[in-house]
Amino acid sequence: MNHNGLCSKESFIEQLVYIDENIQELTSLYVSSTPVYERLKNFFHLYVMEVEDLIQSNRKNTIIPSLPKVYIGTRVTVAYEDEDDTEEFLICFPGQTDPDAGCISFLSPVGRQLLLKNRGDKVMLKIPTGELPVIIKDITFAAPSVKV
Protein backbone atom coordinates (compact mmCIF):
# COMPACT_ATOMS: atom_id res chain seq x y z
CA MET A 1 0.00 0.00 0.00
CA ASN A 2 1.30 3.43 -0.94
CA HIS A 3 1.32 5.95 1.92
CA ASN A 4 2.57 8.90 -0.16
CA GLY A 5 -0.94 10.29 -0.43
CA LEU A 6 -1.67 11.14 3.21
CA CYS A 7 -5.01 12.82 3.62
CA SER A 8 -6.54 14.96 6.29
CA LYS A 9 -10.10 14.75 7.48
CA GLU A 10 -10.44 18.38 6.43
CA SER A 11 -10.32 17.33 2.76
CA PHE A 12 -13.34 15.11 3.26
CA ILE A 13 -15.17 17.76 5.27
CA GLU A 14 -14.60 20.14 2.32
CA GLN A 15 -16.16 17.53 0.03
CA LEU A 16 -19.25 17.28 2.22
CA VAL A 17 -19.64 21.07 2.25
CA TYR A 18 -19.17 21.23 -1.53
CA ILE A 19 -21.74 18.49 -2.15
CA ASP A 20 -24.20 20.18 0.22
CA GLU A 21 -23.76 23.59 -1.43
CA ASN A 22 -23.96 22.18 -4.97
CA ILE A 23 -26.41 19.31 -4.55
CA GLN A 24 -28.91 20.56 -7.15
CA GLU A 25 -26.29 20.98 -9.87
CA LEU A 26 -24.62 17.66 -8.99
CA THR A 27 -27.97 15.86 -8.96
CA SER A 28 -28.83 17.32 -12.35
CA LEU A 29 -25.46 16.15 -13.73
CA TYR A 30 -26.00 12.70 -12.20
CA VAL A 31 -29.46 12.34 -13.73
CA SER A 32 -28.31 13.56 -17.15
CA SER A 33 -25.21 11.34 -17.23
CA THR A 34 -26.58 8.13 -15.74
CA PRO A 35 -28.86 5.74 -17.62
CA VAL A 36 -32.19 5.27 -15.83
CA TYR A 37 -31.53 1.59 -15.08
CA GLU A 38 -28.23 2.46 -13.33
CA ARG A 39 -29.52 5.32 -11.17
CA LEU A 40 -29.53 4.89 -7.42
CA LYS A 41 -32.27 6.77 -5.61
CA ASN A 42 -29.97 7.82 -2.76
CA PHE A 43 -26.68 8.12 -4.67
CA PHE A 44 -25.42 11.27 -2.92
CA HIS A 45 -26.87 10.29 0.45
CA LEU A 46 -24.98 6.97 0.32
CA TYR A 47 -21.72 8.74 -0.56
CA VAL A 48 -22.16 11.34 2.20
CA MET A 49 -22.89 8.58 4.75
CA GLU A 50 -19.71 6.72 3.75
CA VAL A 51 -17.60 9.87 4.07
CA GLU A 52 -19.18 10.68 7.45
CA ASP A 53 -18.38 7.12 8.60
CA LEU A 54 -14.76 7.55 7.45
CA ILE A 55 -14.45 10.83 9.36
CA GLN A 56 -16.10 9.34 12.45
CA SER A 57 -13.90 6.25 12.46
CA ASN A 58 -10.85 8.54 12.37
CA ARG A 59 -12.18 11.11 14.85
CA LYS A 60 -9.03 10.92 17.00
CA ASN A 61 -6.70 11.31 14.01
CA THR A 62 -5.86 14.44 12.07
CA ILE A 63 -4.59 12.34 9.19
CA ILE A 64 -6.52 9.37 7.84
CA PRO A 65 -3.85 6.65 7.65
CA SER A 66 -5.45 4.48 4.97
CA LEU A 67 -8.44 4.54 2.71
CA PRO A 68 -10.52 1.37 2.57
CA LYS A 69 -12.70 2.58 -0.29
CA VAL A 70 -12.63 4.65 -3.44
CA TYR A 71 -13.72 8.21 -2.63
CA ILE A 72 -13.69 11.45 -4.58
CA GLY A 73 -10.08 12.67 -4.45
CA THR A 74 -8.53 9.22 -4.46
CA ARG A 75 -6.28 7.61 -7.00
CA VAL A 76 -7.38 4.07 -7.67
CA THR A 77 -5.20 1.48 -9.37
CA VAL A 78 -7.10 -1.25 -11.17
CA ALA A 79 -5.60 -4.44 -12.57
CA TYR A 80 -7.16 -5.93 -15.66
CA GLU A 81 -8.02 -9.48 -14.73
CA ASP A 82 -7.29 -11.02 -18.14
CA GLU A 83 -4.08 -9.07 -18.70
CA ASP A 84 -0.86 -8.17 -16.88
CA ASP A 85 -1.77 -4.52 -17.05
CA THR A 86 -2.88 -1.85 -14.58
CA GLU A 87 -4.39 1.58 -14.95
CA GLU A 88 -4.78 4.48 -12.55
CA PHE A 89 -7.74 6.80 -12.26
CA LEU A 90 -8.04 9.91 -10.12
CA ILE A 91 -11.68 10.22 -9.08
CA CYS A 92 -12.62 13.90 -9.06
CA PHE A 93 -15.51 16.35 -9.21
CA PRO A 94 -16.96 17.10 -12.68
CA GLY A 95 -15.19 20.48 -13.00
CA GLN A 96 -11.77 18.88 -12.39
CA THR A 97 -11.74 16.25 -15.13
CA ASP A 98 -8.71 15.72 -17.34
CA PRO A 99 -9.02 12.35 -19.10
CA ASP A 100 -5.51 12.60 -20.58
CA ALA A 101 -4.13 12.77 -17.03
CA GLY A 102 -6.43 10.00 -15.80
CA CYS A 103 -8.71 12.40 -13.87
CA ILE A 104 -12.27 11.18 -14.26
CA SER A 105 -15.45 12.51 -12.73
CA PHE A 106 -17.13 10.45 -10.06
CA LEU A 107 -20.25 10.91 -12.23
CA SER A 108 -18.62 9.41 -15.33
CA PRO A 109 -19.55 5.82 -16.24
CA VAL A 110 -16.25 4.40 -14.94
CA GLY A 111 -16.08 6.79 -11.97
CA ARG A 112 -19.58 5.80 -10.80
CA GLN A 113 -18.68 2.12 -11.00
CA LEU A 114 -15.47 2.55 -8.97
CA LEU A 115 -16.83 4.93 -6.33
CA LEU A 116 -17.09 3.33 -2.87
CA LYS A 117 -15.55 0.04 -3.99
CA ASN A 118 -13.06 -1.58 -1.63
CA ARG A 119 -9.43 -2.51 -2.17
CA GLY A 120 -9.45 -6.08 -3.48
CA ASP A 121 -12.95 -5.88 -4.97
CA LYS A 122 -13.53 -7.46 -8.34
CA VAL A 123 -15.57 -5.14 -10.54
CA MET A 124 -17.11 -5.82 -13.94
CA LEU A 125 -16.70 -2.42 -15.56
CA LYS A 126 -19.43 -1.80 -18.09
CA ILE A 127 -17.88 -0.13 -21.11
CA PRO A 128 -19.33 0.59 -24.58
CA THR A 129 -17.82 -2.62 -25.99
CA GLY A 130 -19.05 -4.89 -23.17
CA GLU A 131 -17.74 -5.67 -19.72
CA LEU A 132 -14.18 -5.57 -18.46
CA PRO A 133 -13.19 -7.47 -15.30
CA VAL A 134 -10.86 -5.49 -13.03
CA ILE A 135 -9.57 -5.78 -9.48
CA ILE A 136 -9.08 -2.74 -7.25
CA LYS A 137 -5.37 -3.03 -6.39
CA ASP A 138 -4.61 0.19 -4.54
CA ILE A 139 -6.34 3.32 -3.26
CA THR A 140 -4.39 6.42 -2.25
CA PHE A 141 -5.36 9.99 -1.51
CA ALA A 142 -4.47 12.28 -4.38
CA ALA A 143 -6.48 15.51 -4.32
CA PRO A 144 -5.72 18.04 -1.62
CA SER A 145 -8.84 20.18 -2.11
CA VAL A 146 -12.21 20.55 -3.74
CA LYS A 147 -11.37 23.63 -5.83
CA VAL A 148 -13.36 23.42 -9.05
> Is the pLDDT assigned to residue 141 strictly greater than 60?
yes
Ranges 5-9, 11-15, 75-79, 116-120: which has the least confidence: 5-9
Q: Contact 124/66 with Cβ under 8 angstroms?
A: no
Cβ-based burial of 114 (10 A; exposed 0-12, middle 13-18, buried ≥19): buried
CA–CA dist 67, 7 (Å, integer): 9
> Is the pLDDT assigned to residue 23 strictly greater than 70?
yes
SS (H, E, C) the chain: CCCCCCEEHHHHHHHHHHHHHCHHHHHHHHHHHCCHHHCCCCHHHHHHHHHHHHHHHCCCCCEECCCCECCCCEEEEEEECCCCCEEEEEEECHHHCEHHHCEEECCCHHHHHHCCCECCCEEEEEECCEEEEEEEEEEEECCCCCCC
CA–CA dist 130, 128 (Å, integer): 6
pLDDT the model gives residue 113: 95
Q: Give me the phi and psi of 22, to 5 degrees please.
A: -120, 25
| Tens digit of each residue's pLDDT (9 = 90 or more) over 44-69 | 999 999 999 999 998 888 888 889 99
Please give the average per-residue pLDDT across 33-42, as a whole number. Answer: 87
| Tens digit of each residue's pLDDT (9 = 90 or more) over 86-125 | 999 999 999 899 989 989 999 999 999 999 999 999 999 9
Please give the average per-residue pLDDT across 7-17, as a whole number. Answer: 89
